[in-house]
Amino acid sequence: MFNPMWLFYILVFPGALFCFVAGTLLNGLDRKVYAKMQQRIGPPILQPFYDFMKLMGKETIIPYEANKTVFLGAPVVGFVALVTIMLLLPQFGFTAFGELNADMIVIIYLLTIPAASIIIGGAASGSPYAGVGISREMVSVISFELPLVMVLLAIGKKAGGDGVTFSMKAIADYQAANGAMICQWSMIPAALAMLLVVPCEVGCHPFDVAEAETEICEGPLVEYSGAPLGVFKLNYYVKQLVVSALFAALFLGGKGTGIVAADAAIFYGECLLVTFFSMTLIRATCARLKVEQVFKFYWTVVAGLALVSLVLAWFGL
């Protein structure tokens, strides 16, 4: 039952190492493009990597009020959850664990774990800034959860044909047979909604109410320093990758070329595109919202878009 290839999958591709390298590169490119949009030179593409390495070398201060175990354990749990999602996502024909690939519900719940790890870690640090931060983080999780669920259900209905399906594999198969999901006109509102869900899920700029560094001192991360902070930063990079990959797997699937390396390259390119459109573009053009505005925006506009798709898919369009 245990396959030695699993070790390779978990540790190298598409597991931990790939997540690390691809995530930091993705974030570097994101920051570079962001700088270009502001007519700056911008940091080197490897900047996220330098940031991470520097943080690994810094002193780790554990505040007096903090609960040590939870404070140090939280970022690692978040990272593991993110790597797990990456392992479970189908990339064209290829999935790391073949038949064991999970379905959408697992992915929804695994996606809440990184947010939960930030929240629990922040709570464990004992700072009031973190208290405000976790409150905001939780509200933004509630905000994007509704549209995310509706988008996933719409896709499940679409891919399920007569019935419905939760299986990521069924969705990949459907796209292999019928072309990418985004080419179905009834799914375009859902794709738009998902594009807006992505930045909130990651917690990048207009929706980074939880980590607003200018008002609540980075929120949950206020007391973190050194290596745990480094892992949290890594989580942020990997989250960008994973959520874009989720979008790519849901909407930009297809036949693929049949060669794993080429497929992976195309898939990664799609992730870049998604990152550009959903994160960089919005980040460079919008100012930060207030938390209740975020909530309102997601439960009305974005959820409305997703609902349109859901109803259309329901009528078999």
**Footprint of another protein on residues 244-263 (CB under 8 A)?**
none
Instruction: Tell me which of 29, 45, 139, 260 binds another protein, using CB under 8 A.
Output: 139
Site string for another protein, 61-100 (x = CB under 8 A): xxxxx-xxxx-----x--xx--xx--x---------x-xx
177 is a contact residue toward another protein (CB under 8 A): no
How does DSSP classify residue 58? S
Instruction: Tell me which of 25, 113, 200, 252 binds another protein, using CB under 8 A.
Output: 113
How does DSSP classify residue 162? T
How does DSSP classify residue 183? G
Number of CB atoms found within 10 A of residue 310's CB: 24
29 is a contact residue toward another protein (CB under 8 A): no
6 is a contact residue toward another protein (CB under 8 A): yes
Amino acid at 308: V
Closest approach of another protein to the CB of residue 278, in Å: 21
4 is a contact residue toward another protein (CB under 8 A): no
Q: Which is nearer to another protein, 167 or 273 (CB)?
A: 167
Closest approach of another protein to the CB of residue 80, in Å: 5
317 is a contact residue toward another protein (CB under 8 A): no
281 is a contact residue toward another protein (CB under 8 A): no
What whole-number distance in Å separates Cα of residue 300 and Cα of residue 122? 29
58 is a contact residue toward another protein (CB under 8 A): yes
Tokens matching residue 221? 């991360």
Instruction: Tell me which of 13, 174, 207, 224 binds another protein, using CB under 8 A.
Output: 224
Instruction: Tell me which of 127, 186, 235, 278 binds another protein, using CB under 8 A.
Output: 127
Distances (CA, A) of 26 to 19, 197, 276: 10, 18, 10
Instruction: Tell me which of 153, 155, 191, 282 binds another protein, using CB under 8 A.
Output: 153
Instruction: Tell me which of 131, 173, 260, 288 binds another protein, using CB under 8 A.
Output: 131
Instruction: Produce one character per residue of 278-288: b if its CB has 16 or more CB atoms within 10 Å, e if not.
Output: bbbbbbeeeee
8 is a contact residue toward another protein (CB under 8 A): no
Distant-in-sequence, close-in-space partners of 210: CB < 8 Å, separation ≥ 6: 118, 133, 134, 136, 137, 140, 203, 219, 220
Under rule CB under 8 A, which residues in 194-223 are in contact with another protein? 209, 211-214, 216-218, 221-223
Question: 269 φ, ψ to 5°?
Answer: -60, -40
Tokens matching residue 204? 């990048």
What whole-number distance in Å separates Cα of residue 172 and Cα of residue 263? 13
